[in-house]
Structure 1
Amino acid sequence: MNSQNQKNQMNRRRFLQTSTKLAAAGIYLGVFGMPELFGNVVMDKSKVSIPDVKLNNGLKMPILGFGTYGLRGEICQQSVVEAISAGYRLIDTAKVYGNEEEVGKAIKQSGIDRKQLFVTSKLWVDDAGYENAKKGFEETLRKLDLEYLDLYLIHRPRGDVKGSWKAMEELYKAGKIKAIGISNFDPAQLADLLSYAKVKPVINQIETHAYFQQTNDYNVLKKDNIQMQAWAPFAEGRNGLFTNETLTQIAKKYNKTTAQISLRWHYQRGIVSIPRSSQKTHIIENLDIFNFKLDDADMKAIEKLDLNKTQFPEWS
């Protein structure tokens, strides 16, 4: 872990030490602030669960999931097992993360029926193009040791996107993938894809957090009925997000943490989030966001935090 990541973890840990006791993972979800911006949200009250959003092809997807970027080896496998045990059903990975095999092992180890899980992976730039995309998908499926994927994304709009999308459309129609989408596409790149796509993408997974709220993308995706999904919903703690004064004050108001406030803010905007952690307390903490509601003043205060610029220039 580099010094910046260590600092971010320390900031979050220090905040947790002054916060109220973490709730248990087995919390029955409330019904406050059900988002309608990106589709109907479905609550399953028969068990501890996470609300779903309905994608534009009718598939239901949890609005809160578990990200695995940066997790490798045994730590990755154990973290995914703990996430599934805590109640997460959406698991997000990618070829370039180098952890698809560990994610697959964790799914088997969890003992959860595969049909209860929503597994996402992504096509990397090196596999762009019609033939390469099909080979890349089969490699991902083999590493995960699964018969199908719930969602497969073009990770970045690079190379032969048109050929990649054609291959993914065929895999979708063949039942190998339940839904296909994109990641890191700006509105112009999305418009280009829509000009030839026979199957509309269900999701665009992009950098989204309090410091980079992507208002234009948000409005475009809403208009096109494409679900917005946030990677790095905490900005990985960059620019002091975990100790931000505005988020800290709102957190105290609800006896929550800044992380929980951040996730609740995404939820009330109808955005799917995939926070990542290797710490069991954080994995559990991130689930405890459905028993309170941010009021209009809170939402407007967070809106003012927008810097309208990426916090990850090295990934642009």
Structure 2
Amino acid sequence: MASNFTITSTFKLRSGNEMPIFGLGVAATSDCYEACKVALQHGYRLIDTAQYYFNEEQVGKAVRDSGLPKEEVFVTTKIFSSDHGYENTKAAIDKSLSKLNISYIDLFLIHDPKSGKQKRLETYKALLEAKQAGKVRAVGVSNYSGRHMDEIKEAGYEMPSVNQIELHPFCQQKEITAYDNAHGVVTQAFCPLARARFDNPVIQEIAQKYHKESAQILLRWSIQRGFAPIPKSSQPARIKSNADIYDFVISQEDMAKINALDKGKAGSISWNPVDAA
């Protein structure tokens, strides 16, 4: 990806619609209305929620109250493994549409692969049918490895538009991102701030060099690598500063230093079920 992007830059998904490369995550945030409102006021155009977060109503209200046309705000939600299956998924899609109170969902993800192959494929089929019906614009997955996505390919279904995984300098999931790149799947990064692991001396040194905060270095690294980070915050000042990453470029030398911080899955700091059977 070119380095001269802005907060309005997007990825063209295989579904044909465009997804902002940067957005707000609202995981484990029961009261996210104000966070979403602040984010939308300061240029964010993507909100990432999930049925498991129990805050879809607040996300939808923030989108409606923003005054922005729905076409300008990209809304993602997800279905958790305990609700997988064809009929369950069809009902869950309608439930999310009702809670969000929007006419369509821009991206619907399978939240995790823990339900097993049969239910994964049933769920994916139901999501594709919802896309054909206009309820969903794009279909994707989360926490999937290449093996899980091979199931989709072998079943003859179109490949996911997005694979959302834990992704930051300490857990770069190289095999999965390489698979995504090879198959035209956009890699979206959750936990891009590694849960505020800002004490790393390499990150601190680079932050000082560019006169930026450590969080801004982590996010800039992510988008320069071609990922789509969705940092989470409920603090207005942090939401604003997380988006202040468009006036500098990390050099190739410094990118290499950050790349060298990878510890593989041992560097994971979140729920990371990419090895599910």
Partner of 1:169: 128
CA spacing shift, 1:313–1:61, aligned 2, 3 Å: closer
In 1, Cα distance between the equivalents of 2:271 and 2:71? 37
State TM-score, norm by structure 1: 0.82
| Worse-matched range after superposition: 104-113 or 244-253 | 104-113
Partner of 1:88: 44
Contact 1:32/1:291, CA 8 A, preserved across alignment: no
Map 1:146-185; keep pairs closer than 5 Å.
Answer: 146-159=102-115, 160-185=119-144
Q: Tell me, yes or no, if structure 1 residue 140 matches structure 2 residue 96.
A: yes
In 1, Cα distance between the equivalents of 2:103 and 2:47? 16
Partner of 2:17: 59
Partner of 1:226: 185
Q: Which amino acid counterpart does residue 214 of structure 1 have in structure 2? A: Q
Percentage of identical aligned residues: 38
Map 1:15-34; keep pairs closer than 5 Å.
Answer: 33-34=3-4
Tell me the secondary structure at the aligned position of residue 245 of structure 2: coil
CA spacing shift, 1:132–1:86, aligned 2, 3 Å: same
Deviations 1:197-231 (A, max 9, x none): 42221000001001001111111110011000101
Q: Which amino acid counterpart does residue 215 of structure 2 have in structure 1? A: A
Deviation at 1:108, TM superposition (A): 1.6
Contact 1:128/1:164, CA 8 A, preserved across alignment: yes
1:108 to 42, 64, 78: 64
Q: Tell me, yes or no, if structure 1 residue 262 matches structure 2 residue 218.
A: yes
| Structure 2 residues without counterparts, runs of 5 or longer | none
Tell me the secondary structure at the aligned position of residue 64 of structure 1: coil
CA spacing shift, 1:223–1:315, aligned 2, 3 Å: closer
Q: Which amino acid counterpart does residue 60 of structure 2 have in structure 1? A: G
Q: Which amino acid counterpart does residue 254 of structure 2 have in structure 1? A: D
Contact 2:109/2:139, CA 8 A, preserved across alignment: yes
Partner of 1:201: 160
Q: Which amino acid counterpart does residue 218 of structure 1 have in structure 2? A: T
Partner of 1:118: 74
Partner of 1:215: 174
Name segments (4+ residues, structure 1) moved above 4 Å: none
Q: Which amino acid counterpart does residue 270 of structure 1 have in structure 2? A: G
Q: Which amino acid counterpart does residue 236 of structure 1 have in structure 2? A: R
State TM-score, norm by structure 2: 0.93
Aligned length: 269
| Structure 1 residues without counterparts, runs of 5 or longer | 1-30, 35-40, 44-48
CA spacing shift, 1:33–1:93, aligned 2, 3 Å: same
